């Protein structure tokens, strides 16, 4: 009985909101990655200088993941005239 009551009290208790990443109006923090193309460290967020940036994190390259990367890269190429820059980060 006390276990059920304790579970009910914990379930009804107010909880803090959980957020994933920066929220609207917040600046994304910069971070350094190794750019394979230039063979140097880079900070894609700082390099974007507040412009539009499509930042994709990839844990494991798979066939569906590669198809998604290809589609996002093509979209980035189409929107490049408007300043969009697609960047892919392998974890």
Q: Is 21 left (phi over 0), alpha (psi -120 to 50) or beta?
A: left
Determine, yes or no, domain membership for 19.
Answer: no
pTM as predicted: 0.66
Determine, yes or no, domain membership for 25.
Answer: no
Q: 21, 54 in Cβ contact below 8 A?
A: no
The average confidence (pLDDT) of the chain is 84
Does the CA dihedral 72-73-77-80 come out positive or negative?
positive
Q: pLDDT grade, residue 11 (50/70/90)?
A: low
Q: Which domain holds residue 74?
A: 30-91
User: Which one is predicted more confidently, 40 or 2?
Assistant: 40
Determine, yes or no, domain membership for 44.
Answer: yes
The number of residues making up the chain comes to: 91
Determine, yes or no, domain membership for 24.
Answer: no
Our count of domains for the chain comes to 1
pLDDT at 72 over 90: yes
pLDDT at 65 over 60: yes
Determine, yes or no, domain membership for 69.
Answer: yes
């Amino acid at each position: 009985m006390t276990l059920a009551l304790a579970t009910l009290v914990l379930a009804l208790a107010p909880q803090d909101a959980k957020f994933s990443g920066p929220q609207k109006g917040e600046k994304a923090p910069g971070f350094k990655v190794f750019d394979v193309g230039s063979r140097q460290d880079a900070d894609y967020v700082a390099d974007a200088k507040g412009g539009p940036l499509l930042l994709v994190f990839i844990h494991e390259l798979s066939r569906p993941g590669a198809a998604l990367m290809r589609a996002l890269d093509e979209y980035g190429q189409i929107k490049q005239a408007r300043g969009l820059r697609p960047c892919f980060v392998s974890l």
